[in-house]
Each structure stands twice: as structure tokens, then as C-alpha cells.
Chain A
Amino acid sequence: MTGAYVPRRDRLWFTRSRRYALFVLRELTSVFVAWAVAYLLLMIAALAGGGYDGFVALARQPWMIAVNGVALAATGFHALTFLNLAPKATVVRLDGWRVPAWMIQGGNHSAWLLVSAILAYVVLRSP
């Protein structure tokens, strides 16, 4: 079309609204989710292949504790927002009645808590 004005690409689009910023934050937290997975694999490798003491020494470093503290918060935020979005992808109808989003969300969160509790029990119980 002649003469139409095509706006320039807005590279700072995510700063234009709070909701965009929150979205980008949610996406960025996946870096920490990846970190948590890598850390777990490192730990399993150390457990399996010896060298566990070295791993523990590394894990005790203050900077490592700081990184893992941030990673815990970030993965928590990621998991929470992810589970909150899940009802959008799963529309459940029972005999014509649509299961409301809060029930699906609540179910997800309950399952998450349950699995976390079981894991915490397994990991934290005294040997």
C-alpha cells in the first residue's frame, strides 16, 4: 500500500506493560530450571562416579548457595505460573459440564505439593 506508515520494530516491547514484563520474567526463569536439572545431573554423576566429597565442598561455597537460592525461587515461580496456565490447554468436559479452571489448577498444585512432600520425605528422612 503506498503511503501507509509501518511502525518501526519496538525492541523494548516487554517494558511497555507490566504483564509483558511478567511474561518475559517467566520465560527467563526457564534458564534456572535448566540449571536445576544440570545441578541434579552433576550430583548424580558425583554420587555414581565417586567424587561426592568434592561435589559437597562445591555445594558449600557461598556463591553456590546463593545461585541455588535464586534458582529455587526462580523454579518455584516458573512452576507456579506454568501450572496456573495449564487449564488453558486442558479443557475437561464431564457430561457437558466444563470443569472450571480453578479445579484443574488446584488439582495441579495439589499433585505438585504431594510429589514435593514425598520427595522431601525420601531426601530428608534421617538415614
Chain B
Amino acid sequence: MTEESIRLEVARYRPGQDEEPVLVPYEVPLRPDWAVLDGLAYVKDRLDGTLSFRWSCRMGICGSCGMTVNGEPRLTCGTFLTEYGTGPVRVEPLKGFPVIRDLVVDIEDFLAKLSSVRPWLVREGEEPPLTTEYAQTPAQLDAYKQYSMCVNCMLCYSACPVYVLDPDFLGPAAIALAQRYNLDSRDMDDRFDVLGHEDAVWGCTFVGECTNACPKHVDPAEAIQRYKLTAALRSVLPWSRR
């Protein structure tokens, strides 16, 4: 019995060779337990070793395998070929980012944005011994836990038309990360200087697609809208903090 196959149309961009990405078709086996990422690995192993793409964990944890699959931002290790019937399946790099090669995008800007929100616990006016513990109740943990589930896959940026049109926008994951700390009972900052302006929360027009794209149910749209409320209150009541 011959094995069923499915066609992948993979965007190839080889700097110095291609002016812009071109779709190249590859036939790969259609197996029920194969994700799009397995299809790409098959291409690389058997058909064309020059294909470049990022991946690591193959279990939705490392966040490195995000690509545009049939127009939608997806983690390719968690997106199964069988979802697409008889195909073809179009695999392109994440929208909104410069393409370095094939399916590999430049993530420098994203990383800079993540670190710009002071993603650590900010404490003021104390020099506690290193052994100090800061206990939290389950309710205090719950207040921010959802925002701590982010795997930095950038799918939310790719889904966000504001970011794609204006790369200066701080973007969903960075704001959700800021909220992860803002809402932590051990943190003393509110990050208003980074979050409370036009390229940050006020740049968001609430399309809501970041939340739809997020594979980890972080709900960045919620994080942003909540901060808009915080920022508005803080502007009216300058002494108030979150």
C-alpha cells in the first residue's frame, strides 16, 4: 500500500539568491500523528537539507517553532497535518518580522521589547538577606499566574495588525509580561513609564487577535485592557498605584 501524502508549500527565502520569498512545493507523508513541524523535518532530512526553520522542544514549551500556517500564526509542533484535509498546507514565516532565511525571522526587536518592561520583581528601600522568603497565598499567585504562562512564541505579535503596521508598538506579550510582575504581590513597581504611552498600551486598538492566537491562554488582550484602566486611573489620581 502506498502511503498517503500531503503537499507543503513552503516559503523559501535565500538571501543573495531570492529577491523575496517564493513558495516551493514539497510532498510529505500524511501521518495522523505528524505535525506541520514533522513535515518540515521530513523535507529537511529527505528532500532539501538547505531548508531553515527554528524548533526545539516539539511539545509547545520552547515557543520557537511559530510560523504562519495557511495564513494563521501557529506553533507548528502543535498543528497537525490532518487538520488541513488533503492540503496543500502553506507554511510561511511569522508575519510582522524581518525574514532572515526561509522560515527563520529576526527576533531581536521582540527580545528588546521583553526586557524593556523590567521583567523582574522590583523591590524598594530594602536590602534583605539572600535567604529571605516572600510567601504568597494561592489567591496572590492566581492574580498573575495566567500571564506567567507565556512561552515567548511571538504568535500574538504576528496576529496583531497594530504591530505589523507599526513595529514600534510594544506589543501584547511584553505588556502581558509587565502585568505578570505588576500583579505580583511581591512587586512594588507599576511600570507606568514604559506602559503608559502611545507606543505601549494606548497603541492597542483592541482587535483582540493576540488572544485568539495565543497557544498558552495568556490572554494578552486582557492584560492590555486592564492596564489601560490602571493607567487612566493613575493619570487622574497621580498618587494611586495599581
Contact = CB atoms under 8 A, between A and B. Distances in A.
A125 interface: no
B229 A90 contact: yes
Interface string A57-96: 0000000000000000000000000000100111101001
A5 B207 contact: no
Nearest to B98: A4
A14 B99 CA distance: 22
Given A10-B164, A27-B205, A85-B206, A4 B100 contact: yes
B208 A85 contact: yes
A85 to B, nearest CB: 6
Interface string B72-114: 0000000000000000000000010011100000101000000
A5 B21 contact: yes
A20 interface: yes
B208 A14 contact: no
Contact of B228 (A23, A89, A93): A89
Interface string A11-30: 00110110110010001000
B208 A96 contact: no
Interface stretch (B57-65, B124-132, B168-176, B219-227): B219-227
A122 interface: no
A96 B7 CA distance: 50
Nearest to B140: A96
A127 interface: no
B71 A16 contact: yes
Contacts of B212: 19
A112 B136 CA distance: 39
A17 B98 contact: no
Nearest to B229: A89
B139 A6 contact: no
A5 B229 contact: no
Interface residues of A, number: 25
B226 A89 contact: yes
Contact of B207 (A3, A23, A96): A23
Interface in B113-172: 138-139, 142-143, 161, 164-165
Contacts of A17: 71
Nearest to A87: B222
A1 interface: yes
Contacts of A19: 207-209, 212
Interface in B197-213: 205-209, 212
Contacts of A91: 222, 226
Closest 7 CB pairs of A and B: A3-B15, A89-B225, A4-B98, A96-B139, A5-B99, A88-B225, A88-B222
16 contacts: A3-B15, A4-B99, A5-B13, A6-B98, A7-B99, A17-B71, A19-B212, A23-B208, A23-B209, A85-B225, A88-B225, A88-B226, A89-B226, A90-B226, A93-B143, A96-B139
Given A3-B16, A4-B100, A93-B143, 13 more contacts: A1-B108, A3-B15, A4-B98, A5-B15, A5-B18, A6-B99, A7-B95, A19-B207, A85-B225, A88-B219, A88-B221, A96-B138, A96-B139
